[in-house]
Amino acid sequence: MSNELVKYDPELNTIPLRKFTPIEMNLFFSIVSRMRDQGNKTVRFSFDQLKELSNYKPTANKRFIDDIENTYQKILSLRFGRRSKSGLNREFFVMFTEFEIKGEAEEPYVDIQIYPKALHLLNDLESWVRYALAEFRDLKSSYAKTMFRLL
């Protein structure tokens, strides 16, 4: 677990995560670390797995589900896009299209799927940003986390 790597296209660093709390940043980059090279298939995270990856401390599932939902609401506000050199062609998209939380399942889980136009952020990377998830997770403030991933 301690050698889990976060690896993604540098374009992801151009998107500000200003409204994310440190817990939400941990959840987001834990998801990113496991979504890498999964193509567009739906990836299932058990609550236990996601808690362990993100070093999530509170134990109540209701609060955890609220934190997952808040993280996804903020992920939905992240807009990726491309603009042609002339500026006449523009497209915008979100990173994940499916985020299904099943807290009543015998073993609670979250199913997540990446949007096809965002595949290049996590798959077949020609250049990348890479760091240890544990080092990122151990930073306390969102400012420190942002500086860490940008450096």
- pLDDT tens per residue across span 125-149: 999 999 999 999 999 999 999 999 9
Calculate mean pLDDT across residues 7-16: 91
What is the distance between the alpha carbons of residues 115 and 84, in angstroms, rounded to a whole number?
A: 21
pLDDT given for residue 89 in this prediction: 95
Q: How many CB atoms lie within 10 A of CB 71?
A: 23
For CA atoms 1, 8, 99, 141, give the dihedral sign. positive
pLDDT in tens, 37-59: 999 999 999 999 999 999 998 77
- Residue 103's alpha-carbon distances to 16, 49, 93, 150, in angstroms, are 30, 14, 28, 34
Confidence of residue 2 (pLDDT cuts 50, 70, 90): low
The CA distance from 100 to 83, in Å, is 31
Q: Tokens for 141?
A: 């403030």
pLDDT recorded at residue 16:
87
pLDDT for residue 83: 86
Closest CA to 138 of 22, 17, 3, 1: 22
Structural domains of the chain, with CATH:
5-138 (1.10.10.10)
